[in-house]
């Protein structure tokens, strides 16, 4: 299938517009704002006391865990999209239930994976 890149050209313009708009805001305050830095003004906010330690510490692995689970499921969602779009054509061609069955197996595996994570405690956030 030939991809018509002509359709995508205006996107570049949209991107430029968005970047330009956001960029102009950054420039505006940089230009017009007063510049009177003091040591305490530029200090890190930690509720008014001298900050203890740095924020650049190793943080909890649970946040990475969420990202990893997300990655697995998101890839699977990507598979669902073309299937969903083409289901109409499958139905017209009379192979609808085959397509449905295939995806049902896929979703079943996906669901089992979710269940496994659940049971393993990857979906516990209280502790």
Partner 1 sequence: MTIQSQEMLLNMGPQHPSTHGVIRFVVKTDGEVMSEAMPDVGYLHRSIEKIGEICDYNGFMPYTDRADYLSAMNANQGYAMVVEKLLGLEVPRRAEFLRVIAAEFNRIISHLLSVGALAMDVGAATPFIHALKEREKVNDLMEALCGQRLTYNYVRIGGVSYDMPPNFSERCLDFLDRFEPQWDEFERLVSANKIFIERLSKVGTISREDAIAYNLVGPNLRASGVDYDLRRDIPYSIYPELDFKVIVGHGEQGEVGDSFDRYIVRVREIRESIKILRQCFSRIPEGDILAKMPKVLKPPVGEAYVRTESSRGDMGYYLISDGSAKAFRLRIRTGSFTGMAIIQKISQGMMIADLVTLIASLDVVAPEIDR
Partner 2 sequence: MLIIVLKIIIPFLVIMQLLPLLIWLERKGAAYIQDRRGPNRAAILGVRLGGVVHSLADVVKLIFKEDIFPTNANKFIYTIAPFIAMAVACVTFAVIPWASPLEWKGSAFSLQAVDLNVGILYIFAIGSMGVYGIMLAGWGSNNKYSLLGGLRASAQMISYELTLSLSVVGVLIFAGSLELNTIVQNQGSNLLSWNVIRQPLGCLLFVVSAFAETNRLPFDLPEAEAELVAGYHVEYSSLKFALFFMAEYANMIVASALIATLFFGGWQVPFVSTETLRTYAQPIAYYSVLGLGLFSVAAGWFLVRRKHKVVYHDARDYETKVLGFPALLVGLALIAGQILYGPLPLGETGSQVAAAAFQFGAFLAKILFFCWVFIWVRWTLPRFRYDQLMKLGWRVMLPLALLNVVVTAGIYLWF
Both structure tokens of 117: 């994570």
Residue 56 phi, psi (nearest 5): -85, 65
Locate the DSSP E strands across the chain.
Answer: none
Q: Which of residues 32-91 bind partner 1 (CB under 8 A)?
A: 46-49, 51-53, 55, 57-63
Cβ atoms of residues 90 and 96 within 8 Å: yes
The Cα–Cα gap between 10 and 3 comes to 15
Q: Which of residues 43-102 bind partner 2 (CB under 8 A)?
A: 43-47, 51, 54-56, 59, 63, 66-67, 69-70, 73-74, 77, 80-81, 84-89, 91, 96-97, 100
The Cα–Cα gap between 65 and 61 comes to 6
State the number of binding residues for partner 2 (CB under 8 A).
68
Binding positions for partner 2, rule: CB under 8 A: 7-8, 10-11, 13-15, 17-19, 21-23, 25-26, 28-30, 32-37, 39, 41-47, 51, 54-56, 59, 63, 66-67, 69-70, 73-74, 77, 80-81, 84-89, 91, 96-97, 100, 103-104, 107, 110-111, 114, 118, 123-126
């Amino acid at each position: 299938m030939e991809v018509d890149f002509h359709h995508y050209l205006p996107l570049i313009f949209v991107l430029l517009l968005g970047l330009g708009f956001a960029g102009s805001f950054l420039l505006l305050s940089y230009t017009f704002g007063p510049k009177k830095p003091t040591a305490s003004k530029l200090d890190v906010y930690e509720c008014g006391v001298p900050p203890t330690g740095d924020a650049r510490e190793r943080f909890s692995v649970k946040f990475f865990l969420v990202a990893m689970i997300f990655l697995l499921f998101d890839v699977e969602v990507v598979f669902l999209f073309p299937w969903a779009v083409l289901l109409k054509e499958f139905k017209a061609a009379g192979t609808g239930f085959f397509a449905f069955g295939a995806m049902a197996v896929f979703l079943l595996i996906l669901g089992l994976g979710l269940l496994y994570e659940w049971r393993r405690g990857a979906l516990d956030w209280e502790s």
